[in-house]
Structure 1
Amino acid sequence: MKKLSVFNTYQKPGESEVKYWHFSLGLKMTCLLGLCLFLYSCAEAQKPTAAELYFPPNESVEWEQVSLQDLDWDETKLEELLAWLPSQGTRAFMILKDGKIVVEEYWGEKLTGLGEMDQDAFWYWASAGKTLTAVLLGIAEEHKLLKRKDRTQDYLGKGWTSLSEEQEREIRLEHHLSMTTGLNDAVADPDDTSAEALTFLAEPGSRWAYHNAPYTLLEKVLEEASGETFQEFFRASVGNKIGMKGFWQQTGNNNVFYSDARSMARFGLLLHADGNWNGDQIWSNKFFQEMRETSQDLNPSYGYLTWLNGKSSFMIPQSQRLFPGMLIPSAPADMYQAMGKNGQFLMVVPSEGLVIVRMGGAGDNALVPFLLIRDIWDRLAAVIE
């Protein structure tokens, strides 16, 4: 059993519910939230512009680095963090500062088991790929291929669920993006995208639930809207433009993205630069600002398929409970992140100019292991302070 650093209780590996919150903890977290928001507002004015960021050249292994001495980071604390990470099943860990590499480390075997992890080894993104999907939908909207307010029926046809005609008509693309379709996630296989597995539970927009099947169907929506395969649309709109390696692959009922750690870091840098890759403005519409804001009134810490820090409360997968405080208390309030099973993390911190990548395994089976990302930040915060 593992003692939770911010909870006065214990959690067995795989538990998805957090219990026994104390009032004093909630008060402390509220004060911490206020302080972080103040610091964020001060730092936001110093956020580097895209023109001030470094961008690694496409189709090249060249990538400039910056030293710890230049950053005045705590080298001893960093060594402790890097010694701890492989004990948690970490395979790849990267930190970018204003686009330049500060840390790039690999441990253990490749996903294939054939050789040791390195900068060319591919790993799965799991649900961290949801944020990449949100970006593709946003680009499609900017190109006027679809609108997030559109009915899902417009792309999947009538009868894509087991709902009545009237109920189904109310589900729109924005509900898929915000995890509020109202479809029942307590089914035998919540990854099953067949109409039989998609049943009514609540009115769209009235219930937040981390449900993979409605998310996965966005692939078919995008293909119908664009006339291209999901793979083709990704490569043409993002991958080829920023030198990002990777591919989407059907894994069970899920469509999973695989790439090397550097490609995940490139995508994070593109997010940090607000869609501008070394002068090439890949996106610029309002969708992408709203993607990093609360998308509904139920879970403040969730945008469009993207997790948000710095909010007053949060929900977690497989639970309907609203927990007080920030998702990751020791991280900057303005951080937003893509998070996937077994600890696939892409973290973007605009106020600090940071992009952080973590790939690997995790000790529990949580769909989004937020306790692991908290553990990482408990150590990382001491490095950069």
Structure 2
Amino acid sequence: MKYISVLIAIILLFSCSSSDDSKPTADTNIEAMYFPDNENDEWETKPLTELGWNEDAKNELFDFLEAKNTKSFMILVNGRIVVEKYFNGHTATTPWYWASAGKTLTTALTGIAEQEDYININNKVSDYLGAGWTSAPTDKESLITCKNLLTMTSGLDDALGDDISVTNLQYKADAGTRWAYHNVYVKLQDVVAQATGQTWNSYFNSKLKTPIGMTGAWIQTGDFSVYWSTTKSMARFGLLALNNGKWKEQQIINSNYFTSSTTPSQNINKSYGYLWWINGQESYRLPQTQLEFQGSIIPSAPSDMYMALGKNDQKIYVVPSKKMVVVRMGEAADGENFALSNFDEELWIKINSVIN
């Protein structure tokens, strides 16, 4: 009888365990990752209530977004659309500019070119573009590597504006010794084009845009091109980023390179990777200043978040711990800005009221 009692107890124990495991859960990490079809923009959706989110706080978030000149807003969890909203006449098919959030597209394609052995990011930029691509002395220009362009540590003078002509790319400090937000990163597009023997657009379309089903185009603006697309195309790139460069079963961007892209790339600005901003670090620097600020860039946002940030509050937030991508497109929330603004913190306070 003793053995029978023990056997019954074991059966009951396993029965209870199975029952508990079968209960619905709001853990977003359990659900399989979803990728939309490449041929159309039909996406799976997921109701807020199934995630245990606060439905009542959603309208307050929408009111805030509309008041802050937003044109579109989207939240993905495990690839599925949980929140999708358009404002002020903007629609799911209306294109909008990425501004500097599109820097991360340049990061992605640079990584692809490296994994295909066209370039090495540790090589000098002049290895690909030839000497004299800046006005810096030859010995100083030769210090600048492709990685310096990715990390904003070229040492070129950022105070001379957006012009990236030879005469405007002037020496300020040795490469790697100074962090400064500078449009010289665009020269990476020339490096990729020169090394691959293709136009930037052709290589971009075949290696990144088409494989993940993006739409959109690079539109010439002054001395460089800016990417325009729909909100869902921006979200597709965010989903690729969430999955460390993998789309469905295809590793589009080398995972080691992508991890390096979204982790601190140097010690001068610890909140900057390869043209990606990084949350949760001990300090950060901002465009157009050499001041160092203590703490995380967006204190209310998850500490593991990395971000593509563009002028006038174009945003892609990627949060691995929550399997989440957040996209915001629109006009500047509170007057023109270059990438970061107080809007980021205010927005995350509103987002937290919905998701927590």
2:165 aligned residue (188, 194, 202): 194
Structure 2 equivalent of residue 104 of structure 1:
84
1 CA distance for matches of 2:253 and 2:226? 23
> In structure 2, the residue corresponding to 1:62 is in which secondary structure?
coil
> In structure 2, the residue corresponding to 1:283 is in which secondary structure?
coil
Gaps of at least 5 residues in structure 1 are 1-45, 109-115
Counterpart code for 1:379? K
Larger radius of gyration: 2
Contact 1:57 1:243 in 2 (8 A): yes
| Shift in CA distance, 47/75, structure 1 to aligned 2, threshold 3 Å | closer
> In structure 2, the residue corresponding to 1:53 is in which secondary structure?
coil
Structure 1 equivalent of residue 253 of structure 2:
283
Structure 1 equivalent of residue 283 of structure 2:
313
Structure 2 equivalent of residue 206 of structure 1:
177
Measured against aligned partners, the alpha-carbon deviations of 1:36-72 in whole angstroms (never above 9, x if no partner) come to xxxxxxxxxx8849x9200111111310100011011
1:265 aligned residue (226, 235, 244): 235
Matched, 1:220 2:193: no
1:351 aligned residue (314, 317, 321): 321
Matched, 1:120 2:93: yes
Structure 2 equivalent of residue 154 of structure 1:
127
Measured against aligned partners, the alpha-carbon deviations of 1:317-372 in whole angstroms (never above 9, x if no partner) come to 01100000100000000000100001100010000010010000112222113311
Q: State how many pairs are aligned.
A: 329
1 CA distance for matches of 2:172 and 2:130? 21
Counterpart code for 1:201? K
Counterpart code for 2:86? Y
Structure 1 equivalent of residue 355 of structure 2:
384
Shift of residue 284, structure 1, vs aligned partner: 2.7
2 CA distance for matches of 1:104 and 1:139? 31
Matched, 1:367 2:356: no
Contact 1:56 1:64 in 2 (8 A): yes
| Shift in CA distance, 204/47, structure 1 to aligned 2, threshold 3 Å | farther
2:57 aligned residue (60, 77, 85): 77
Gaps of at least 5 residues in structure 2 are 1-26
1:171 aligned residue (134, 144, 148): 144
Matched, 1:59 2:50: no
Structure 2 equivalent of residue 255 of structure 1:
225
Matched, 1:246 2:216: yes
2:310 aligned residue (315, 323, 340): 340
Structure 1 equivalent of residue 74 of structure 2:
94
Shift of residue 230, structure 1, vs aligned partner: 1.1
Greater shift in the superposed pair: 369-378 or 336-345: 369-378
Structure 2 equivalent of residue 145 of structure 1:
118
Structure 2 equivalent of residue 324 of structure 1:
294
Contact 1:191 1:254 in 2 (8 A): no
| Shift in CA distance, 48/235, structure 1 to aligned 2, threshold 3 Å | farther
1 CA distance for matches of 2:254 and 2:54? 37
> In structure 1, the residue corresponding to 2:159 is in which secondary structure?
coil
2 CA distance for matches of 1:283 and 1:319? 32
Contact 1:327 1:370 in 2 (8 A): no
Contact 2:111 2:254 in 1 (8 A): no
Alignment of 1:8-23 (within 5 A): none
Shift of residue 233, structure 1, vs aligned partner: 1.1
> In structure 2, the residue corresponding to 1:95 is in which secondary structure?
strand
Contact 2:28 2:78 in 1 (8 A): no
Q: Which is bigger in relative contact order (C-alpha 8 A, separation at least 6)?
A: 1
Query: What's the RMSD between the two structures over aligned residues?
Result: 1.4
Counterpart code for 1:163? A
Shift of residue 79, structure 1, vs aligned partner: 1.3
Structure 2 equivalent of residue 294 of structure 1:
264
Greater shift in the superposed pair: 367-376 or 311-320: 367-376
